[in-house]
Amino acid sequence: MTTDTEAVRVTAPAPVPTQRGRRGGRRRGRGERSSPLWTWLALPGTVWMTLFFVGSLIIMILLAFGTTDLAGKPHFGTSLASVRHLADSAYLKVGLRSLVYALITAVLCLLIAYPIAYAIALHGGRFKNALIAAIVVPLFVSYLVRMYGWSVLLSDDGPVLKAGRALGLPSSVHIVNTNLGVILGLVYGFVVFMILPLYAAMERMDTSLIEAGRDLYGGPLRTFLTVTVPATRQGALAGLALVFLPAVGDFISAQLMGGPDQIMIGNLIEDKFFAATNAPLGSALTMVLLLVLLVGMFGYVRRARRDEMDAVR
Amino acid sequence: MTPSRPRRSMTRRSLLRAGATGAAALAAGACAYLPVSEKAVAAAAASAEAEPAVVPRIDGDLVYFNWADYVDPSVFTGFSKKYGVKIIQSNFDSMESMAAKMNAGNSYDLIFPSAKWAQRLALAGQLRRIDASTLVNAAAIFDYYPYFGDPWYDPKSAHTIPFTMYKTGIGWRQDKLGSLTGSWQDLWDPAAYGHNFLLDDRDEVLGMAALKLGMDINTSDPDDLTRIVALLTGLREHLRGFDSDDYDNLLDGNAWLTQAWSGDMASVMWQADDASIYGFEAASEGSPINSDCYAIPRSARHPGTALLFIDWMLKPENVEKNINYIGYPMPVHGSEATYAEIVQTLPQCVITVDDLNRNLSFRNVTPAQDDARDTAWTDVKAG
């Protein structure tokens, strides 16, 4: 049994494979500061982001205190009406629902994506790139169009449920306008963003570590849990963030696959910006959502940095 | 960063340019809103009188802005051929996005706003004056549908010509539910629970509840709204969804019963495998009436061509083509039979002069009232 703990100890500094890349990055980082060339090359991107990203954020913050005129045009101002509206309990309820949906979606995506990424990265052989392409290509078609397609396929009289009923599925079963429908839609829409970082992490993983684990008498499960999982944790964390963040703000899945009890915060924000021509309230809601997500992101960044420090140590 | 300042003063200046309307707005309050009061409407009408009307003559290619697929393509080609101009088409997907594109500074020669938006744009001074008597084919509208001679949304039709009309009622599956009672109460039919939809539209849903409770359909009274929210919350727990895609829901089987626009029922008739299973009823408590119209924005570069195109659209053969293409009735004398034929099995889709005169239409309200209605709608929708 001692050999088993031995195996664990050997693999303990888990994200070893990323070590080289990280260190290299750091060294380059130090070089950047001394070379003016890199500063100049970073300038266009910085200006671009400042103008169009930070700029639009500032406009949105200001707009939260604005008003809308008769022709539907928003104006800046000092009105607190939108902020007062945020107290409506409907927003809290729908916001919490969105967070729960996004969390379930992220976990489901992880469970689905892990074996897929694993199979492609470690057993894909010469088909690796073709398989990854097959996963990415559907993204070329707009998410909205694909979701619309699902809503037709899964509708009550659609082919899926018709076939199901022919095989004895009770007619009371439906998919569109249920929690299941919305979460299926979200998982379908965002699972790719989980597969890609996981695949990248597994690709980078040094497979000799797995062999080492087996050599040290680790069983397949034990080796998987103590070698593969820690080595790909960063990919999984990145994937969770990449899935969770857009899923919280999504409105298309809830609109096409959901009913009255599946409305998400994105639907209410979209409603305020468009149907209600109330950009100020839409902006205020967006800012609140952004703040909540920033807190989550902060946690993620800290965790990622700690992993990085571990790797460098 | 003080982007608010130049924008504000721009608005003020353009308001002042609009004359009486702007003065009324500024007098009413320091905010950027135009209150929709009787006074403002009268003031807008007065300033419209003073302004020269668009002259129907070719002054360039037509930049056309409408819902997608709302005009028979052969009507476009006919106009292009006859007058030797190109038609540059773009589409909007909602009234709000139409307004947003215009606010962003895009110039269009011809737009198709709903009555409510026509009023907003006209009051904001964004529409050109149109004199219907300069059109050859407009008599078929105004001589037979006096309602449109002085509609609520545009006094004396000074800026608009009516295009299509529709009403809101209930579309349902007769094979699933049999016949209904002809009241909004039918939306509460327990046999349809789990297969029933309301439109995803604030005014339609609040308006339906208001009619059922015997209130004004545009009510923003707090007590009224409380009762409306309570009534709708009771229905909500049995409801399959809020969705404006009424005809798709009827066609793909998700809906056995849905609040529906009469205009969409033609699509159901045309696309259904068996059209006879569908019904449409207008509720006895009253069915809201709405209309879209032609309008020429102030920023139009070729207003003359736009007005000629409106006249072209009103030619009897083109009216017939368009009704058969989009399935909406138009208030044009001589076209009634064409529409009635399409909805032969759904006679309640037809809009009569009496329907129009009941004047159950969604109006613009003041910002505070709008706010109250919007909060009620959010509470209904989010539960």
A171 chain-B contacts, CB cut-off 8 A: none
Render pLDDT for B108-158 as a digit per residue (tens, 0 to 9): 999 999 999 999 999 999 999 999 999 999 999 999 999 999 999 999 999
Closest CA to B244 of B273, B209, B282, B202: B202
pLDDT at B49 over 80: no
On average, the pLDDT of chain A sits at 85
pLDDT at A4 over 80: no
Q: What is the ipTM of this complex?
A: 0.75
Q: Cα dihedral sign for B170, B173, B174, B177?
A: negative
User: What's the confidence (pLDDT) of residue B47?
Assistant: 67
pLDDT at B338 over 90: yes
* DSSP line for A138-154: GGGS-HHHHHHHHHHHT
User: What's the confidence (pLDDT) of residue B48?
Assistant: 61
Structure-block tokens of residue B95: 């009234």
pLDDT at B23 over 50: no
pLDDT at A309 over 50: yes
Cβ atoms of residues B240 and B194 within 8 Å: yes
pLDDT at B16 over 90: no
* DSSP line for B294-305: EE-BTT-S-HHH
Place of tokens 């902006």: A283
Query: Cβ separation of B367 and A76 shorter than 8 Å?
Result: no
User: What's the confidence (pLDDT) of residue A306?
Assistant: 84
Contacts of B16 (CB under 8 A, 6+ apart): B22, B23, B26
Q: Which residue has the higher pLDDT, A299 or A83?
A: A83
Mean pLDDT of B65-70: 92
Strand B160-173 vs strand B289-295: parallel, antiparallel, or unpaired?
Answer: antiparallel
Count Cβ neighbours within 10 Å for each residue of A151-189 and write b for 16 or more, e otherwise.
Answer: bbebbbebeebeeeeeeeeeeeebbbbbbebbbbbbbbb
> How far is the C-alpha of B31 from the C-alpha of B17, rounded, in Å?
17
Render pLDDT for A192-214 as a digit per residue (tens, 0 to 9): 999 999 999 999 888 888 888 88
Structure-block tokens of residue A195: 């597969």
User: What's the confidence (pLDDT) of residue A70?
Assistant: 81
User: What's the confidence (pLDDT) of residue B198?
Assistant: 96
Contacts of B328 (CB under 8 A, 6+ apart): B164, B165, B166, B263, B266, B339
Render pLDDT for B164-220 as a digit per residue (tens, 0 to 9): 999 999 999 999 999 999 999 999 999 999 999 999 999 999 999 999 999 999 999
Render pLDDT for A100-122 as a digit per residue (tens, 0 to 9): 999 999 999 999 999 999 999 98
Of A70, A76, A276, the CB nearest to B33: A70
pLDDT at A17 over 90: no
What are the CA-CA distances from residue A87 to residues A142, A192, A289 (Å)? 35, 36, 14
User: What's the confidence (pLDDT) of residue B31?
Assistant: 33
Cβ of residue A67 closer than 8 Å to a chain B Cβ: yes
Mean pLDDT of A226-251: 92
Cβ atoms of residues B100 and B147 within 8 Å: no
Cβ of residue A305 closer than 8 Å to a chain B Cβ: no
pLDDT at B371 over 80: yes
pLDDT band at A252 (very low <50, low <70, confident <90, very high): very high
Query: Cβ separation of B202 and A275 shorter than 8 Å?
Result: yes
Q: Which residue has the higher pLDDT, A157 or B260?
A: B260
If interface means Cβ-Cβ distance under 8 Å, which residues of chain B face chain A?
Answer: 1, 3-4, 7-8, 11, 31-34, 36, 94, 96-97, 99-100, 102-103, 120-121, 123-124, 126, 195, 201-202, 236, 239-242, 252-254, 364, 367, 371, 374-375, 377-379, 381-383
Amino acid at A181: G
User: What's the confidence (pLDDT) of residue A185?
Assistant: 96
pLDDT band at A313 (very low <50, low <70, confident <90, very high): low
Cβ-based neighbour number of residue A242 at 10 Å: 18
pLDDT at B347 over 50: yes
> How far is the C-alpha of B77 from the C-alpha of B86, rounded, in Å?
9
Segment holding B64, helix H or strand E: strand B62-66
pLDDT band at A39 (very low <50, low <70, confident <90, very high): confident
pLDDT band at B39 (very low <50, low <70, confident <90, very high): low
B103 chain-A contacts, CB cut-off 8 A: 71-73
> How far is the C-alpha of A155 from the C-alpha of A50, rounded, in Å?
45
pLDDT band at B38 (very low <50, low <70, confident <90, very high): low
Largest CA distance in chain A: 78
pLDDT band at A27 (very low <50, low <70, confident <90, very high): very low
pLDDT at A170 over 80: yes
On average, the pLDDT of chain B sits at 88
Coil, strand, or helix at residue A75? strand
> How far is the C-alpha of B153 from the C-alpha of B148, rounded, in Å?
10
pLDDT at A22 over 70: no
Mean pLDDT of A237-246: 94
Cβ atoms of residues B142 and B156 within 8 Å: no
Min distance B95 CA to chain A CA atoms (Å): 8
Render pLDDT for B75-91 as a digit per residue (tens, 0 to 9): 999 999 999 999 999 99
